[in-house]
Amino acid sequence: MTSSIPDFHTRNFKLGAMSFPEKVIYWVIVLTPLWWLLGIQTLFYPAVVVGFLGVNFDIDKLTRRSIPACIWAWLGMALVMVWTATFGLNDVGFALQKIAATFVTFFKSYCLIFAALLLPFWHAIRVKVVTRAVAWMATGYLVTIAIEMLMLVVGLGKEPFLPPLARLIPGGALSLQVTFADLQPFFGIPLPRTVLYTPDPPIVGVCSILSFFICLGEENRRLRQIS
Protein backbone atom coordinates (compact mmCIF):
# COMPACT_ATOMS: atom_id res chain seq x y z
CA MET A 1 0.00 0.00 0.00
CA THR A 2 2.94 2.33 0.60
CA SER A 3 5.14 1.34 -2.34
CA SER A 4 6.21 4.03 -4.75
CA ILE A 5 4.27 4.16 -8.04
CA PRO A 6 6.15 5.20 -11.21
CA ASP A 7 5.74 8.84 -12.15
CA PHE A 8 4.29 7.72 -15.49
CA HIS A 9 0.90 7.28 -13.84
CA THR A 10 1.15 10.65 -12.13
CA ARG A 11 2.01 12.52 -15.32
CA ASN A 12 -0.98 10.98 -17.07
CA PHE A 13 -3.39 11.96 -14.30
CA LYS A 14 -4.98 15.04 -15.88
CA LEU A 15 -8.10 16.89 -14.81
CA GLY A 16 -9.09 17.13 -18.46
CA ALA A 17 -9.27 13.35 -18.67
CA MET A 18 -11.96 13.22 -15.98
CA SER A 19 -15.63 12.81 -16.68
CA PHE A 20 -17.96 15.59 -15.58
CA PRO A 21 -19.12 13.75 -12.41
CA GLU A 22 -15.48 13.06 -11.52
CA LYS A 23 -14.54 16.72 -11.93
CA VAL A 24 -17.43 17.87 -9.77
CA ILE A 25 -16.73 15.35 -7.00
CA TYR A 26 -13.01 16.13 -7.18
CA TRP A 27 -13.49 19.85 -6.62
CA VAL A 28 -16.24 19.35 -4.05
CA ILE A 29 -13.75 17.39 -1.94
CA VAL A 30 -10.76 19.67 -2.55
CA LEU A 31 -12.70 22.85 -1.78
CA THR A 32 -13.97 21.57 1.57
CA PRO A 33 -12.64 24.66 3.45
CA LEU A 34 -14.74 26.91 1.20
CA TRP A 35 -17.99 25.06 1.92
CA TRP A 36 -17.06 25.14 5.62
CA LEU A 37 -16.61 28.91 5.63
CA LEU A 38 -19.83 29.39 3.64
CA GLY A 39 -21.75 27.14 6.05
CA ILE A 40 -23.34 25.01 3.34
CA GLN A 41 -21.43 21.74 3.65
CA THR A 42 -24.23 19.76 5.32
CA LEU A 43 -26.60 20.33 2.40
CA PHE A 44 -24.11 20.83 -0.43
CA TYR A 45 -22.56 17.35 -0.27
CA PRO A 46 -25.84 15.39 -0.37
CA ALA A 47 -27.24 17.79 -2.98
CA VAL A 48 -24.35 16.99 -5.34
CA VAL A 49 -24.59 13.22 -4.87
CA VAL A 50 -28.39 13.02 -5.04
CA GLY A 51 -28.35 15.43 -7.98
CA PHE A 52 -26.11 13.12 -10.02
CA LEU A 53 -28.38 10.19 -9.19
CA GLY A 54 -31.48 12.10 -10.19
CA VAL A 55 -30.14 13.43 -13.48
CA ASN A 56 -29.39 9.99 -14.95
CA PHE A 57 -31.76 7.88 -12.90
CA ASP A 58 -32.57 4.59 -14.60
CA ILE A 59 -34.76 2.10 -12.80
CA ASP A 60 -33.39 -0.67 -15.02
CA LYS A 61 -29.97 -0.29 -13.41
CA LEU A 62 -31.47 -1.37 -10.11
CA THR A 63 -32.87 -4.53 -11.65
CA ARG A 64 -30.15 -5.45 -14.15
CA ARG A 65 -27.15 -4.86 -11.88
CA SER A 66 -26.33 -6.71 -8.71
CA ILE A 67 -26.51 -4.07 -5.98
CA PRO A 68 -24.60 -5.20 -2.84
CA ALA A 69 -26.67 -6.11 0.17
CA CYS A 70 -24.99 -3.42 2.29
CA ILE A 71 -26.49 -0.71 0.08
CA TRP A 72 -29.97 -2.18 0.44
CA ALA A 73 -29.32 -2.34 4.18
CA TRP A 74 -28.61 1.39 4.25
CA LEU A 75 -31.81 1.99 2.29
CA GLY A 76 -33.67 -0.03 4.89
CA MET A 77 -32.15 2.02 7.72
CA ALA A 78 -33.04 5.22 5.87
CA LEU A 79 -36.66 4.10 5.59
CA VAL A 80 -36.68 3.21 9.29
CA MET A 81 -35.44 6.71 10.10
CA VAL A 82 -38.24 8.21 8.01
CA TRP A 83 -40.74 5.96 9.77
CA THR A 84 -39.54 6.84 13.28
CA ALA A 85 -39.23 10.54 12.40
CA THR A 86 -42.85 10.49 11.26
CA PHE A 87 -43.89 9.16 14.66
CA GLY A 88 -41.81 11.85 16.34
CA LEU A 89 -43.42 14.59 14.27
CA ASN A 90 -46.81 13.15 15.09
CA ASP A 91 -46.05 13.68 18.79
CA VAL A 92 -44.69 17.23 18.52
CA GLY A 93 -46.86 18.41 15.65
CA PHE A 94 -46.30 18.72 11.91
CA ALA A 95 -45.12 22.31 11.97
CA LEU A 96 -43.39 23.41 8.78
CA GLN A 97 -40.16 24.29 10.58
CA LYS A 98 -40.01 20.90 12.34
CA ILE A 99 -40.69 19.06 9.08
CA ALA A 100 -37.94 21.04 7.33
CA ALA A 101 -35.46 20.36 10.15
CA THR A 102 -36.29 16.63 10.06
CA PHE A 103 -35.82 16.55 6.29
CA VAL A 104 -32.42 18.27 6.57
CA THR A 105 -31.32 15.72 9.19
CA PHE A 106 -32.39 12.84 6.94
CA PHE A 107 -30.92 14.43 3.81
CA LYS A 108 -27.44 14.92 5.32
CA SER A 109 -27.25 11.53 7.04
CA TYR A 110 -28.87 8.31 5.82
CA CYS A 111 -29.85 9.75 2.45
CA LEU A 112 -26.28 10.95 1.79
CA ILE A 113 -24.72 7.60 2.73
CA PHE A 114 -27.17 5.58 0.63
CA ALA A 115 -26.81 7.89 -2.38
CA ALA A 116 -22.99 7.92 -2.14
CA LEU A 117 -22.87 4.11 -2.06
CA LEU A 118 -25.22 3.88 -5.03
CA LEU A 119 -23.58 6.60 -7.15
CA PRO A 120 -20.78 4.42 -8.67
CA PHE A 121 -23.46 2.19 -10.20
CA TRP A 122 -24.76 5.23 -12.11
CA HIS A 123 -21.49 6.95 -13.01
CA ALA A 124 -18.00 5.60 -13.59
CA ILE A 125 -16.01 7.27 -10.81
CA ARG A 126 -12.43 6.08 -10.57
CA VAL A 127 -10.93 5.40 -7.17
CA LYS A 128 -7.74 7.31 -8.04
CA VAL A 129 -9.78 10.47 -8.66
CA VAL A 130 -11.29 10.33 -5.18
CA THR A 131 -7.91 9.38 -3.72
CA ARG A 132 -6.19 12.37 -5.33
CA ALA A 133 -8.95 14.70 -4.10
CA VAL A 134 -8.74 13.35 -0.54
CA ALA A 135 -4.94 13.70 -0.63
CA TRP A 136 -5.24 17.38 -1.52
CA MET A 137 -7.99 17.81 1.10
CA ALA A 138 -5.73 16.23 3.72
CA THR A 139 -2.94 18.58 2.68
CA GLY A 140 -5.45 21.38 3.08
CA TYR A 141 -5.94 20.22 6.67
CA LEU A 142 -2.28 21.05 7.33
CA VAL A 143 -2.65 24.48 5.72
CA THR A 144 -5.80 25.23 7.72
CA ILE A 145 -4.14 24.13 10.97
CA ALA A 146 -1.11 26.33 10.23
CA ILE A 147 -3.36 29.33 9.57
CA GLU A 148 -5.35 28.70 12.75
CA MET A 149 -2.17 28.39 14.81
CA LEU A 150 -1.00 31.73 13.41
CA MET A 151 -4.38 33.28 14.25
CA LEU A 152 -4.08 31.89 17.77
CA VAL A 153 -0.65 33.47 18.23
CA VAL A 154 -1.75 36.93 17.03
CA GLY A 155 -5.04 36.73 18.94
CA LEU A 156 -7.50 36.47 16.04
CA GLY A 157 -10.55 34.23 15.76
CA LYS A 158 -11.28 33.97 19.47
CA GLU A 159 -15.04 34.01 18.93
CA PRO A 160 -16.84 31.53 16.64
CA PHE A 161 -19.13 32.87 13.95
CA LEU A 162 -22.12 31.54 12.07
CA PRO A 163 -21.90 31.97 8.27
CA PRO A 164 -24.86 33.92 6.80
CA LEU A 165 -25.91 31.02 4.55
CA ALA A 166 -26.00 28.69 7.56
CA ARG A 167 -28.76 30.80 9.08
CA LEU A 168 -31.03 29.83 6.19
CA ILE A 169 -30.77 26.08 6.85
CA PRO A 170 -33.55 24.67 9.08
CA GLY A 171 -32.63 22.95 12.32
CA GLY A 172 -29.81 23.49 14.78
CA ALA A 173 -27.02 25.69 13.47
CA LEU A 174 -24.38 24.52 15.94
CA SER A 175 -22.93 22.02 13.46
CA LEU A 176 -22.44 24.86 10.95
CA GLN A 177 -20.69 27.20 13.37
CA VAL A 178 -17.13 28.07 12.35
CA THR A 179 -14.73 27.84 15.28
CA PHE A 180 -10.98 28.37 15.32
CA ALA A 181 -8.12 27.07 17.44
CA ASP A 182 -7.94 27.87 21.13
CA LEU A 183 -5.96 26.75 24.17
CA GLN A 184 -7.49 24.00 26.30
CA PRO A 185 -5.96 21.99 29.16
CA PHE A 186 -4.81 18.45 28.40
CA PHE A 187 -3.92 16.68 31.67
CA GLY A 188 -3.35 20.13 33.12
CA ILE A 189 -1.15 21.29 30.24
CA PRO A 190 -2.62 24.06 28.03
CA LEU A 191 -2.35 22.97 24.41
CA PRO A 192 -3.81 24.38 21.17
CA ARG A 193 -6.92 22.56 19.99
CA THR A 194 -9.03 22.88 16.88
CA VAL A 195 -11.97 20.92 15.51
CA LEU A 196 -11.38 22.08 11.91
CA TYR A 197 -14.48 21.64 9.73
CA THR A 198 -16.89 20.23 12.33
CA PRO A 199 -17.76 21.08 15.94
CA ASP A 200 -17.64 17.42 16.95
CA PRO A 201 -14.05 16.26 17.77
CA PRO A 202 -14.77 12.50 17.27
CA ILE A 203 -15.83 13.20 13.69
CA VAL A 204 -12.49 14.89 13.03
CA GLY A 205 -10.70 11.83 14.45
CA VAL A 206 -12.67 9.41 12.28
CA CYS A 207 -12.14 11.56 9.17
CA SER A 208 -8.42 11.76 9.90
CA ILE A 209 -8.10 7.97 10.15
CA LEU A 210 -10.10 7.42 6.96
CA SER A 211 -8.11 10.09 5.13
CA PHE A 212 -4.86 8.44 6.25
CA PHE A 213 -5.80 5.06 4.77
CA ILE A 214 -7.17 6.61 1.58
CA CYS A 215 -4.00 8.66 1.10
CA LEU A 216 -1.89 5.50 1.25
CA GLY A 217 -3.22 4.72 -2.22
CA GLU A 218 -2.12 8.05 -3.75
CA GLU A 219 0.13 7.52 -6.79
CA ASN A 220 2.15 10.71 -6.40
CA ARG A 221 4.82 9.83 -3.84
CA ARG A 222 5.45 13.36 -2.58
CA LEU A 223 1.75 14.17 -2.27
CA ARG A 224 1.17 10.84 -0.52
CA GLN A 225 3.89 11.56 2.05
CA ILE A 226 2.62 15.08 2.77
CA SER A 227 -1.04 14.13 2.95
Q: Taking the chain, what is the end-to-end CA distance rounded to the nearest angstrom?
A: 14
For the chain, how are helix, strand and coil distributed in percent, rounded to 5? 65, 5, 30
What are the start-end ranges of the H helices in 69-183? 69-92, 96-107, 110-118, 127-154
At 44-65, the pLDDT tens digits run: 999 999 999 888 777 777 777 7
Question: Could you tell me which of 118, 124, 109, 125 has the C-alpha nearest to residue 70?
Answer: 118
At 129-145, the pLDDT tens digits run: 999 999 999 999 889 88
d(CA 25, CA 120): 12
Question: Could you tell me which of 74, 69, 65 has the C-alpha nearest to residue 124?
Answer: 65
Question: Is 7 inside a domain boundary?
Answer: yes
> In this structure, which amino acid lies at residue 81?
M
- Regarding pTM above 0.75, the answer is yes
Question: Is 204 inside a domain boundary?
Answer: yes
Q: How confident is the model at residue 201 (pLDDT cuts 50, 70, 90)?
A: low
**2-6, 27-31, 88-92, 190-194: lowest mean pLDDT where?**
2-6
Q: Has residue 3 got a pLDDT over 50?
A: no
Q: Which residues pair with 191 in a beta bridge?
A: 184
Domain count of the fold of the chain: 1
Domain encompassing residue 156: 1-32+126-227
Beta carbons of 28 and 48 less than 8 angstroms apart: yes
Question: Is 5 inside a domain boundary?
Answer: yes
Question: Is 1 inside a domain boundary?
Answer: yes
Helix (H, G, I), strand (E, B) or coil at 156: coil
d(CA 178, CA 194): 11
The pLDDT mean for the chain works out to: 83
Question: Is 135 inside a domain boundary?
Answer: yes
Q: How confident is the model at residue 6 (pLDDT cuts 50, 70, 90)?
A: very low
